[in-house]
Amino acid sequence: MGPPARAAQAERTDGARAGAAVGDRGPAPTSARVRSGRRAERLAPYVLVAPAVLIIVLLRLWPLGLGVNFSFTGDGEHNGATVGLGNYAELIDDPLFRTALGNVGLLVLLLPVAVAVPGLLATFIYLRVPGHQVFRSVYFFPAVLSPVIVGAIFNLLLAFDGPLNAVLGGSGLGPVDWLGDPDVAVFTVVGVHIWATSGMALVVFLAGFSTLDPALLDAARVDGASLARMIWHVIIPGLSRTIQFVVVTTMIGMLTSMFGLLYVMTSGGPEGSTYLPEYYIWVQQGQMSRPALASAASTVLFLIMLVVGLLQVGLLRRAGRED
């Protein structure tokens, strides 16, 4: 090999070594940036969720824990002293609280009605019944009214000498003591609550319908399916997740958002027949000055909502899997 060839080979060897050196130094910063990017990508969801979790912990879970702890202390002369389960034993012996728990069971039984009403209305609007655009606004209108206003309106309509009983009397039926009969009053208040709150559930159902495949309904129409069969075999399975959400939120609303109606329409009467846990809590806290007993009742109400919500979600999920 002559001198020119050796010189060329030496140049190629030096170039290869330089390239290898550059290659050894080049990927290091790149791989570090990749690892840093992956770490940031893994941490991003936690960073985004952290403010919401912090708010829930500070404004929800922490007060809840304080309330549960306070429920084990006494009232009056035993103020601040630990009484163990004394408040809970007193709740069990209180006939008003037992009535409130019985009314919770009644609400659970009436829950399908509270969910079916907005569900059917949303179905009719989705199927574009005549005047559906007007009905959309009319059905939602009660949701913007204050419970106090709704209660005052129905107090006038449902009074013993009110217009509804006047119509019943004119048609040959006797008047009904809608708010004074212990066997009727609780159903009256629940019915008014369903009317006043169904608009919000209606909006949720309409949002759920936007995810429903119209081809399924068209195929059912072609096959000659009736409206009832379309609802049962197409709409309900297609809206299973929406129904789960509405069931749970409606039950929570019935347990925690009826105070205004109860206060205005019946004040817990007649004979305590319309008591619910939230109204009982207000009476013990505000009128009886029993905050520890009210905290115990609040804890019981929270456990009821938790158990009922979990059972409802479990049953609905099982029904969805079977379908």
Got the DSSP string for 72-85? TBB-GGGBTSB-TT
Yes or no: say if 267 and 198 are a contact pair by the CB < 8 Å rule.
Answer: no
- Looking at residue 91, its pLDDT comes to 93
Per-residue confidence (pLDDT) for residue 9, from 0 to 100: 54
Report d(CA 310, CA 307) in Å as an integer: 5
Q: What is the pLDDT of residue 19?
A: 47
Q: What CA dihedral angle connects 23, 28, 30 and 32, to 10 degrees?
A: 170
The domains found in the chain, sorted by start residue, are: 86-322 (1.10.3720.10)
Q: What is the length of the chain?
A: 323
What does the DSSP 8-state code read for residue 213?
-
What stretches of the chain show up as alpha helix (H) in DSSP?
3-25, 27-56, 62-70, 86-93, 95-126, 132-140, 147-157, 163-170, 182-209, 214-222, 227-230, 236-238, 240-256, 259-265, 277-282, 291-322
User: What pLDDT sits at residue 23?
Assistant: 47
Task: List per-residue pLDDT tens for the chain, 323 residues long.
Answer: 555 455 445 455 555 454 444 444 544 556 777 777 788 888 888 889 999 999 999 998 898 899 999 999 988 777 878 898 999 999 999 999 999 999 999 998 999 999 999 999 999 888 888 877 788 888 888 888 999 999 999 999 999 999 999 999 888 888 999 999 999 999 999 999 999 999 999 999 999 998 888 888 888 888 888 888 888 888 888 888 898 889 888 988 998 889 999 999 999 989 899 999 999 999 988 778 888 999 999 999 999 888 888 887 787 777 666 65
Residue 321 is predicted with a pLDDT of 66
Helix (H, G, I), strand (E, B) or coil at 26: coil
